[in-house]
Amino acid sequence: MEKLATYQELSEFLKQVERRAFKQAMFAVHGEDAALDIVQDSMLKLSDKYAGRPAEELPLLFQRILQNTIRDYFRRQKIRNFWTMPLSSLFSGGEDDEQDPLETMQTESGSSFLQDPAKSLESSQVVELIEAALQKLPARQREAFLLRYWENMDVAATAAAMGCSEGSVKTHCSRAVHGLAAMLKEKGVEL
Amino acid sequence: MNEQEFGRTLAGHLNRGLTQINRDALDRLGQARERALAAYQEPVDVPEMALSAGHGMLSGRGRARKGRYAYLLPILLLLAALTFAFYWQSAPLDDNIDDVADIDARLLGGDLPIQAYLDTSMDSWLENSADQ
């Protein structure tokens, strides 16, 4: 018989995963409040609906819930925008508010990390550039990349969490890596 | 650097970025975790749940999880009722079958040949014998 997750195991798991989950949500929705709401909803769903599952299933279940909650957020946003956009477009001046985080980020062409990447790897600026590049990736590519390399899931688990085929995961990951490499190279970051 | 190495290197940087999350967000994450853990219910075995549900012992943290399995109780009761009904219906039938089987066995095992019961002249002879 499978050993079910205890309160302590669930607590440890949530503590271990909460920051990465928050960042994942941030990369997707670009807002701290929305990201925190998404993480809280995901934790609640896991605890309420799936705490009776074995502890080793929690990472996959949580990722699945998290990705679905992010998708739900965008669905709600889409519906909200459907009603609010026509009204707001009447009053807006038509400027494009979309900003590229990589464009607005201060890279300081004379900074040390651009000249000496080995030293700059510790710099928080590199982290910020990587996070900004991740935000620019298409959602599915970012999702696949983060699950595979940040959450250390294998291809099969990633496919299960994303609800797609293993082939799709490989394709998304490959494209994500090439996209990230190109964006970081453009900013002068060589890993 | 291949894809795997690139991914792992980036993951290392992203992990470093986790230390840069602001204090307010961390506090709110902690509160979210506490709320989630408050919703945690100890998993219970179904038989135990059914018994406790029957005796009105649902309480506190176990209420929601046990309530999830509460639908099993009427199903179990229905199955028990169906089993009883089947047994009740089939029990007399079994008795009849036993009776018929007993009669057949006696007829076949008796000294009188079976054709005697089918022979009408035998009946009339018996009646005549009885009259005499």
How far is the C-alpha of A149 from the C-alpha of A167, rounded, in Å? 16
- Best mutation site among B5, B9, B10, B27 for testing chain A: the one with the most A CBs within 10 Å? B10
Does ipTM come in above 0.90?
Answer: no
**Measured between CA atoms, how close is A78 to chain B, in angstroms?**
26
pLDDT computed for residue A49 by the predictor = 87
**Measured between CA atoms, how close is A94 to chain B, in angstroms?**
34
Q: From chain A, pick out residues whose CB is under 8 angstroms from the CB of B30.
A: 18
DSSP percent split of chain A into helix, strand, coil, nearest 5: 75, 0, 25
> CB-based burial of residue A99 (10 Å sphere; 0-12 exposed, 13-18 middle, 19+ buried)?
exposed
Nearest to A47 among B26, B36, B43 (CB): B36
Distances in whole angstroms, Cα of residue A89 to Cα of each of A74, A85, A160, B11: 20, 6, 40, 40
CA proximity to A173, closest of B33, B47, B8: B8
pLDDT computed for residue A109 by the predictor = 45
Instruction: Locate the domains of chain B by residue range.
Output: 1-40, 88-132
Relative orientation angle of helices A58-91 and A155-162, to the nearest 10 degrees: 50
Q: Is the pLDDT of residue B91 over 70?
A: no
The answer to whether residue B2 neighbours chain A at the CB level (below 8 Å) is: no
pLDDT computed for residue B67 by the predictor = 60
What are the DSSP E strand ranges found in chain B? none
Q: Which domains are delineated in chain A? A: 1-92 (no CATH), 100-191 (1.10.10.10)
Nearest chain A residue (CA) to B3? A177
Per-residue pLDDT of chain A (191 residues), as tens digits, is 567 778 888 899 999 999 999 999 999 998 899 999 999 999 999 998 887 788 888 999 999 999 999 999 999 888 888 777 666 666 655 444 445 555 555 444 444 444 454 555 556 788 889 999 999 999 999 999 999 999 999 999 999 999 999 999 999 999 999 999 999 988 887 77
Mean pLDDT of B111-127: 77
Given the structure tokens 């204090």, which residue do they identify?
Answer: B23
How far is the C-alpha of A24 from the C-alpha of A34, rounded, in Å? 12
**Ramachandran category for residue A116: left, alpha or beta (phi over 0 → left; psi -120 to 50 → alpha):** beta
Asked if A153 contacts A63 with a C-beta cutoff of 8 angstroms, the reply is yes
Neighbouring C-beta atoms of residue A56, cutoff 10 Å:
11
Nearest to B10 among A10, A23, A149 (CB): A149
The answer to whether residue B97 neighbours chain A at the CB level (below 8 Å) is: no
Q: What angle do CA A60, B25, A145 make, to 5 degrees?
A: 35
- Best mutation site among A43, A61, A69 for testing chain B: the one with the most B CBs within 10 Å? A43
Nearest to B17 among A46, A127, A149 (CB): A127
Q: How many A×B Cβ pairs under 8 Å?
A: 106
How far is the C-alpha of B17 from the C-alpha of A130, rounded, in Å? 10
- Give the rounded distance of the alpha carbon of A97 from its chain centre: 22
Nearest to B7 among A36, A39, A148 (CB): A148
How far is the C-alpha of B93 from the C-alpha of B81, rounded, in Å? 19
**pTM to 2 decimal places:** 0.62
How far is the C-alpha of A82 from the C-alpha of A164, rounded, in Å? 28
